[in-house]
Amino acid sequence: MDIIKNRITSVLHEETEDLIHYICAISELSYEETEKPNWPLKFYREYVSKNVPVIIRGGARLMPAVQKWSSDYFRTKLSDKSVTVALTPNGYADGLNKSETGVFFVLPEEKEVKFDEFLTILDQKQDNLIAYIQRQNSNLTQDFLEIVDDVGMEIHWASAAFDKKPDAVNFWMGDQRAITSMHKDPYENIYCVIDGYKDFILIPPTDLPFVPTQTYQVKRYENVTTNRYEMVNDDSVTDVKWVAIDPLNPDYDKYPEFKKAHLYKFRLNKGDMLYLPSLWFHHLQQSHKCIAVNYWYDMEFDIKYCYYKMLESIC
């Protein structure tokens, strides 16, 4: 089996080295491209069908939210609204944490607070208490109907290209210390930065053999404060398979194959938009009080998905 795996990964590495979009940087376009009548077709042909990301500078600039959303605006519109906030001592909600008894996949403590209290936590910025609104249940349409018209329920040209509506529209806001650890999603993702910036690291799905994963026991943070926290067992969740390496500080001695992975690093600024294809690994950092929304469109579970799952089972 190891011989077969090594041969497959060797061929895959050789072939992907010849792909032009794995040699160059991520493509960048101006928002004017999205205003052309043939843009949905071009978008699908040039990027979606090839499973290739594209950055659209200024792509979200016309969303009213880009001009309106701020702490002052939210205090006016949402001050007394109850919101679910993820709290962690280290910024990694849904990420790995090492303790004396091992390395665990740890979920955040989720706490209901008023939006005004959430903003105060961000403003005061205390050690070991890192807050992030990051529920991935279409929380914009479920929890923030008061402001959904500022961004819209869909990206119209994307809906035309995918021939479907989004499965979920998510709202993100939090501390600059909040980090989204490396992972992948089974969605076509249109990601929009409304205020601040986001720093991305992307790895293509063809590099799966070079991205180490392990299965971890799941725990959850509880009683997170500035001077203490607990990690408790979460019996409601089975063990999780997760990326074992930190792309910000990779341990090449432990995972030498990771050197073969193609890492693409870039920043999305206020008003920028990213098409992040399904199954691409991604890692995010952000500016303080950064605000973003993203639109998840269900991927096509076609022959490419079958080959990906086969590769995943081998690796």
**pLDDT, tens digit, 9 for 90 and up, residues 39-64:** 999 999 999 999 999 999 999 999 99
Helices (H), 30-114: 39-43, 64-68, 71-78
Determine the pLDDT at residue 203. Answer: 96
User: Global pTM?
Assistant: 0.94
**pLDDT, tens digit, 9 for 90 and up, residues 230-282:** 999 988 888 999 999 999 999 999 999 999 999 999 999 999 999 999 999 99
Calculate the alpha carbon distances from 222 to 88, 121, 150 in Å.
9, 17, 34
Determine the pLDDT at residue 45. Answer: 97
Q: Can you say whether the dihedral through the CA atoms of 186, 187, 193, 194 is positive or negative?
A: negative
User: What angle in degrees, to the nearest 10, is found between the helix axes of 115-124 and 71-78?
Assistant: 160
Contact criterion met (CB below 8 Å) for 184 and 308: no
Determine the pLDDT at residue 234. Answer: 85
List, in sequence order, every residue forming a beta bridge with 55; answer none if it has no partner.
Answer: 28, 274
Per-residue pLDDT of the chain (315 residues; tens, 9 = 90+): 677 777 777 777 776 776 655 667 899 999 999 999 999 999 999 999 999 999 999 999 999 999 999 999 999 999 999 999 999 999 999 999 998 899 999 999 999 999 999 999 999 999 999 999 999 899 999 999 999 999 999 999 999 999 999 999 999 999 999 999 999 999 999 999 999 999 999 999 999 999 999 999 999 999 999 888 999 998 888 899 999 999 999 999 999 999 999 999 999 999 999 999 999 999 999 999 999 999 999 999 999 899 888 888 887
Helices (H), the chain: 2-17, 39-43, 64-68, 71-78, 115-124, 139-143, 156-162, 303-314
Calculate the alpha carbon distances from 218 to 17, 59, 85, 240, 284 in Å.
36, 38, 19, 7, 22
In which region does residue 128 sit, left (phi positive, over 0), alpha (psi from -120 to 50) or beta (all else)? Answer: left
